[in-house]
Chain A
Amino acid sequence: MSNTPILQVRDLHVRFDTVDGTVFAVNGVSFDLNRGETLGVVGESGSGKSVTMMSLLRLIPEPPGRIASGTARFRSRESDVDLLALNKSERAKIRGNRIGFIFQDPMSSLNPLLTVGDQIRESLEQHTDYRGARSRRRVVELLEQVGIPDPAKRYGNYPHQFSGGMRQRVMIAIAVACDPDIIIADEPTTALDVTVQAQIVDLMNRLSREYGIAVIWISHDLGVVAGIAERVMVMYGGTVVETGEIETVYNHPRHPYTVGLLGALPKLHESVPELVDISGTPPSLFSSPAKCPFEPRCPWAFDACRDDKPQLKVAGAPAASGTQHLSACWYDLERNEPRPEALPRKGRTQ
């Protein structure tokens, strides 16, 4: 039981039906989340990283959003369910209770008319039997755990009396209030300045260790992800292009997009005359990708990339922990030649 992943997402497809046509936002995403681990999800805007995670608990606007297919098996202490097959009330019982959320903008995520204490209480009382003075005490405890000084007094403060970093701490307190199994953090540090970012990362690391909470950390900041995640999943054009242990992926990237991302990352200890960008623009998601989404921008692209969409394949030796290193690419960057399975299919296409 303890070795089975807490969350197994398989072949998730999410679409948005807009006036201009159907947007294929998530195209067959599959991944596992182990108990207590922190999974970093990186990718540029529009890569589908947020939509993937938000759609697990149907937090995307529907319509225009639509979960076309997929399963998300969630095995918590008390249940073993497919998140995508839940009805409304079952979903409400998991939201904020078993799976907590932290959003990007702490400035607007708190109701300006309610005190921060009451907002944490709202989540707590929604799912637990804490009430009255007992729940107030618990909230003060939570405020203390997320590092709010003088928590008893701060309980009655309004959000505008808190700085951005403090508000994000309150959001974290709301997310951990019911002792969830998973926290999905959607770019929680993007709106904060760098020193505060580091504090929030530390806090999340500590809470996730203390309570054994699995964290999905969505970010476009590779540096932040390196500081918090054990495993990383790189997304592009609504698909997972590479996944593996963070050090493996950062030191031996096997997907051209990851290579590009890392090349565009400034490093402190190396002086690089110029950062290398990835040429071209992110893909239009209006057509269902029957080919590799990165193909138009990829310097290694060849016929196979245009003919068929590559699936995640083993791209290198597994890490010491046993974590697989997978990449969805027809080209073997290590050997600098097309993968063997990409060649014969060239002959097969009519």
Chain B
Amino acid sequence: MRIDALDRSNLNSPFRRFLKIILRDNAGLFGALLFVALVGLAVMAPHVAPHDPLQQRLGISRLPPAWQEGGSWEYPLGTDNLGRDMLSRIIYGTRVSLTVGFVGVLIASSLGLILGMIAGYVGGRTDSIIMGVSNLFLAIPYLLLVVVIASVLGRSLVNVILIFGFTNAPLFVRITRGEVLRIRKSGYVESAVAIGASQRRILIHHILPNLVGPLLTVATFEMSGMIFYEAGLGFLGLSVPPNIPSWGNMLSAGRQYIQFSPWIAAFPGLAIVVTSLSMNLLGDWLRDVLDPKIRRSAS
């Protein structure tokens, strides 16, 4: 009741509306908090991690987590086959995963946005060429494509990011183009033309803002997808070099000890699940926040 009264007096305060939607949607709040925590971990890794993630202590290799018999709170999540601290490695692994996901999506979506807008707005032969190439890429089995490129280019963080950025762009091209075609035919673009608005103004003022919602939602899902695939590549030994702690590399290393030291593979696996869950929740929530129609139902 009291919240309702507040709403009406503050219909135009974006910040209040923002807060209200976060607080209303528990799943979204959970996803957002988790995401913020993960970003915090990645940024603050050197200060948060209890140990150097690369330091090997062969004397205490495959130490179980603290709550199991033989575990120690010095190494809360135990150690891996070379005696490196699992917790610290997981924390550092956040950096690789989030960087790949974030920068990869940034490249893919920017590329897709530009090409998709050109295809949708210019049309004709330009459209055919852009869509032809995009569809060609989408027709190749994704994992195969990524594995082939990764094995040709070799292991490095930059390569992984570029591979994901470029191979995911066609998806964004398709979505952007479809949305542009839909928005172009909408009444408000027709109205904008009728009041004498220039093409540039229509693109920037009417089409672009209406693309942000759908694209941002796809971007968050794609981000979780890239984190998944990065771990997959790491597992195959095609992602970042082994001297960089990444969840994929950790999974890969834990595979051969899974019978007797399951935690070495389980914790990075859990980290991947939690991260991708947080992004999916965040994606759902962002879609709601960016749509004024759903924004209203929050009041």
Contacts and interface: CB of A to CB of B under 8 A. Distances in A.
B11 A122 contact: no
Contact of B195 (A95, A105, A156, A161): A95
Nearest to A97: B196
Interface in A94-133: 94-97, 100-101, 103, 105, 107-114, 119, 122-123, 126-127
Contact of B196 (A95, A108, A114, A160): A95
Contact of A111 (B11, B188, B194): B188
Contact of B190 (A103, A122, A160): A103
Interface residues of A, number: 34
A205 interface: no
Given A57-B194, A108-B187, A110-B188, A160 B296 contact: yes
A109 B12 contact: no
7 contacts: A91-B196, A103-B194, A109-B187, A111-B209, A123-B195, A127-B196, A157-B11
A112 B196 contact: no
Contacts of A214: none
B48 to A, nearest CB: 39
B210 A113 contact: yes
B194 A59 contact: yes
Contact of A112 (B197, B198, B292): B292
A85 interface: no
Considering residues B188, B196, B293, B296, which has the most beta carbons from chain A within 10 angstroms of its beta carbon?
B196
Nearest to A92: B196
Interface in B36-68: none
B5 to A, nearest CB: 16
Contact of B198 (A92, A107, A111): A92
A109 B190 contact: yes
A160 B293 CA distance: 6
A8 B205 CA distance: 35
A111 B198 CA distance: 16
Contacts, number: 79
Contact of A109 (B188, B196, B291): B188
Contacts of A100: 194-195
A240 to B, nearest CB: 23
A122 B194 contact: no
A93 B196 contact: yes
Interface of A: 57, 59, 91-97, 100-101, 103, 105, 107-114, 119, 122-123, 126-127, 153, 156-158, 160-161, 171, 174
Contacts of B191: 101, 103, 109-110, 171, 174
Interface string B205-240: 110011000000000000000000000000000000
Contact of A103 (B11, B187, B196, B197): B187
Contacts of B153: none
Contacts of A96: 194-197
A190 to B, nearest CB: 13
A158 B299 CA distance: 14
Nearest to B294: A160
B158 interface: no
